[in-house]
Structure 1
Amino acid sequence: MKGINELKELAERVYHRMIDKTVNDWGMNMESWDWVPGVGVISILAYGRLVGNQEAIEYLQQWTERNKHLSEQGNVINSMAPYAIFPELYRLSGDRWYLDAATKIGDWMLKEAPRTREGAFEHTVTENVNFSEQVWADTLFMAVLFLARLAKLTGESKYAKEAEFQLLIHLRLLQDPQTGVLFHGWNCEEGNHMSSARWTRANAWVILASPWIAEEISSLTPVAEEIVDRYRQLASGLRHYQREDGMWSTVMDQPGFYAETSGSAGIAAGWLAGIRMGWLDSSYKEAVNQTLQGVIERIEPDGTVQGVSGGTPVMPNILAYEEIPCYPTLYGQGLTLILLSLAHKINLSEGK
């Protein structure tokens, strides 16, 4: 187990790998407005808060100033992610622009965002492709987390109630009752889980987003006990599929598939978030430690996180997930950064 100072130093290297180079490639480009840099800025905010790095918070203010004009390209669910930092930036700066922009987007989500027949947000993306009537696990992290944070900032229960509903309907539609883990997506029109892939990163988005969302909205609306029960079933199911090296295969019930770093880091981070929320007991700390060691082995000296699968829509079949190439990405850096930051904050040596 790494010491607290070692974890902090590792987190700083991962963070600087995200911000020190301006690159044009899709996976590591911070200077755009979509889910990839969105996960990047969400993770940098978590890092700044948990480790106490004021420089990281200042970076987010500068990043927003440089890139806010890009938000005008059009609203889709998958590009809501960058807005999740706006509530905190408004609290810190008092700049009314952050509040007005966030409220405008929150109202779009409530009134105009496309929905499936069950009322779940349809997973719309910036790319020229349509996923009609599809629900993806990614949406909870990419869009609903923002809505929950907006609810807490404004005290408006309408945002909190929508966030709670979206969390519950996503869990109901995506959770496998046999194993407790989640399928990648749900097709409302066809009434099936498409390829029925138990994709690791999909599970990571949800195991991490769920307690974060609940924490933001709990003072404004009751969080259904069903959400907590389903979260615990998910957490337990994930432990069942954890490999001996602490990681998960990119499709977790396919042990011959490659180990995937971003999903593994996100799952362990989600367990830690669940422990902090009081939803999970400390018995998960040992499993987190296993993952932490596996993830750290995939961090290069310059902070680059390796073993991260590229952007992955719901694939046509299970084998297609194994064909997704691995390369460094902001979301791989980000989920690793969140894990390192939470591990730094929480004493993993207690309560084993």
Structure 2
Amino acid sequence: MLDDDVRRRVLDCLLVSQRHSWDQGLTAAVLEESGAAAALQALVDDAVARQLPDGRLAELDPACAVNGAALGEFVDSLAHRLGDPALAAAAARQHGWVSSGAPRAADGTLFHLLGSRQVWADTVYMVVPFLACRGDGAAAVAQLTGHRSRLRDPVSGLWAARWDEDAGALADPRAWGTGNGWVAAGAARAVCWLPGAAGTAVAAEARALLDAVLPLRRPDGLFGDVLDDPATPADTNVAAMLGFAALTGAAEGWLPHRFGGVGESLVAAVVERVDGLGRVTGASAAPHFDRPGHSPEAQAFLLLADAACRRWRAGR
């Protein structure tokens, strides 16, 4: 786990980074985990102030169709906690956009960008936890199912990065590590909101993906930018994302206890790559994610995985 000084430096680097809407959602999750109630409220208020008329929260890039929904969980939760009708209305607008306003395939599966009929693995994290927290479990499972049917390889169990709906074929067939991380983390985040069969189904999806990915871990404790291509560089953020998923499942009891130890090992491998400033080195670099470097995602996921590790240890 992170000691207090390293945790503070990792958080400082996250907070001073330039962030997109999905990074704001991850930052909100970090602030909630750390009990920083005032900072979380300030972030949520700013996300609502920047909400587009169609409902997309904190969206500064109008091409992004779904990323603002990563904030929806926190706007919705804070609305209930404070009894704030303005926040409740903002969460409802974001829900309306995801439910009916955003572009989608004939079966309802959401496209990731406006002006492009592509289904991306990333969308799972953006929308599935938000739909689940809104009590819309059927829609959450439907989105996971629609994405899986297009992107998951039935033999390897790995997820491709992108599908082109018009071509009826994969637009990017690579088993991109970060894309698989988004799926695992999004499914793990949603389980606690989903009762009964829906929660069981989403937990099983997270377990299946972890089982497919973990054998591809490299000798240095990390995973590749492309999971099944040893020629690609390692990506520290993938280990943090998968560590978050494994530790969340172990802490909440829907994964076997041994996954907590695996997640703890993944967190330790990432902590070794934190530099003196508190930056997680060796992640897929923002803003283009085309080379090793740093990203707000990697900062946030290390903090989220560390918090999940603390929850798992406390429950042992």
Q: Specify if TM > 0.5.
A: yes
Question: Equivalent residue for 1:248?
Answer: 223
- 2:88 counterpart SS class: helix
2:228 alignment partner AA: D
Quote the Cα distance in structure 1 between the aligned partners of 2:48 and 2:294. 25
Partner of 1:140: 124
Residue deviations 1:259-296, cap 9 Å, x none?
11112200111111222343321222333233222100
Paired residue secondary structure (1:213)? helix
Equivalent residues in 2 for 1:123-162 (5 A)? 123-124=112-113, 130-132=115-117, 134-151=118-135, 159-162=136-139
**2: distance between equivalents of 1:80 and 1:229?**
23
Quote the residue 1:40 is aligned against: 27
Aligned length in residues? 307
Matched with 2:169 is: 192
1:108 aligns with 2:83: no
**Corresponding residue of 1:68:** 48
After TM superposition, give the deviation of residue 301 of structure 1 in Å. 3.0
Q: Name 1:165's counterpart in structure 2.
A: 142
Deviation at residue 335 of structure 1 after TM alignment: 0.9
Name the residue aligned to 1:346: 312
Structure 1 residues 286 and 13: alpha-carbon distance in aligned structure 2, compared to 1, 3 A threshold = same
SS in 2 for 1:217: coil
Shift in alpha-carbon separation, 1:328–1:124, aligned structure 2, 3 A: same
Contiguous gaps of at least 5 residues in structure 1: 22-27, 152-158, 314-320
Partner of 1:177: 154
**TM value normalised by structure 1:** 0.79
- Matches of 2:272 and 2:293 in 1, distance apart? 16
Equivalent residue number for residue 275 of structure 2: 300
Change (3 A) 1:224 1:184: same
The alpha carbon displacement at 1:228 in A equals: 4.2
Q: Distance in 1 between matches of 2:158 and 2:216?
A: 9
Which residue in 2 is equivalent to 1:336? 302
8 Å CA contact 1:261, 1:332 repeated in 2:
yes
The one of 11, 26, 29 aligned to 2:7: 11
Aligned to 2:193: 216
Query: 2:4, 2:245 → 1: CA distance?
Result: 19
Instruction: Classify the secondary structure of the residue corresponding to 1:336.
Output: helix
Q: 1:45-77, CA deviations, whole angstroms, 9 ceiling, x for partnerless residues?
A: 2x22xxxx3xx2210111233443222265421
Q: Is the 8 A contact 1:120 1:170 kept in 2?
A: yes
CA distance in 2, matches of 1:269, 1:107: 29
Q: Separation in 2 of the partners of 1:284 and 1:187? A: 34
Q: Which ranges in structure 2 are unaligned for 5 or more consecutive residues?
A: 57-64
Q: Shift of the alpha carbon at 1:210?
A: 0.8
Shift in Å at residue 194 of structure 1? 2.3
- In structure 1, which of residues 269, 285, 291 is the aligned counterpart of residue 244 of structure 2? 269
Distance 1:34 1:101 in 2: 15
CA RMSD of aligned residues (A): 2.5
**Aligned residues with identical type, % of pairs:** 23
TM-score of the superposed pair, with normalisation by structure 2: 0.87
Higher RCO, Cα 8 Å, sep 6+: 1
Q: 1:224 to 1:304 in 2, by over 3 A?
A: closer
In the alignment, the residues of structure 1 paired with residue 310 and residue 41 of structure 2 have an alpha-carbon distance, to the nearest angstrom, of 24
